[in-house]
Amino acid sequence: MGKKIKFSIGLKLVLLFAVAFLAGRGVGAAAETVSAMRQKSDSVSDTVNIVREAPGSWGLSFREEGKPPVADVSAKDLAKYNAYYMEETEEKVLYLTFDAGYENGNTPAILDALKKHNAPAAFFIVGHYLESSPDLVKRMVEEGHIVGNHSYHHPDMSQMGQEEFQKELGELERLYQETVGQEMAKYYRPPQGKFSENNLKIAKDLGYTTCFWSLAYVDWDVEKQPSREEAMEKLTKRVHPGAVVLLHSTSKTNGEILDNILTKWEEMGYTFKPLSELAKNPAEGQ
């Protein structure tokens, strides 16, 4: 009887250790399974509509250095709505874009670096930026950059109907026309990266190309700016052929490193093209 009790206790301990071990392994296995399922969903996107109907935020998963990240929606599915986040290509080409919510003293240095490298870019501006910094916007245009629509007030537009959506873009279009003396280019970046299928349809119906991104890093918090070294490392490791690069013009770090990172990318064999070239090369894969 005593042996049976000891055996029973020993068996229970073995089982407890086994359960604990498998639980620990299970967390990692579950994560790997989810990752594999997500990769699989990306590869069959031509048969499954993965553009969400409900509003959500644009997201990326950077997994392999020098390779495109895994995005919330495939390039092929976005292209149906005249929307893009990268070009599917082996050519080492980059599309530079900047979100400009307000002027923080860094845009002149950014423009200087772009001019030095003869690198075209797109600046997505809001109403406040155009009202407060018209001379900088005019300089962007004069130096050959695209000035795109980031909405007038930078709200969450993903749940708006067509009338409200059109009003947000239209107010900025009119102010741009009055300020610059020409029509605004039809490139749109969703505020906060928030979008929905209806949001993409409305933008397309209005003649806009919706521009997401495939390369970015945490540069927007002006109170917690990354170091130059940290920024250079992330932007070097995450760069990939056909990337649409998102940087914020409010970032002091970006103003300081842009010349260096453009030089680094050039040394890696990259060249720069305007967003107008991206839409000419619609996604064929994914």
Catalytic residues: 99, 248
- Residue 267 CA to residue 35 CA, distance in Å, equals 33
- Per DSSP, what are the bridge partners of residue 97? 122, 246
Rounded Cα distance between 36 and 38, Å, is 5
Q: In angstroms, what CA-CA distances link 157 with 166, 186, 192, 208, 247?
A: 10, 17, 9, 14, 21
- Residue with token string 């013009």: 249
Q: In Å, how far from its chain's centre is CA 185? A: 19
The set of residues, in sequence order, having a beta carbon less than 8 Å from that of 91 and lying 6+ positions away, is 241, 242
Look up residue 128 and give its amino acid. H
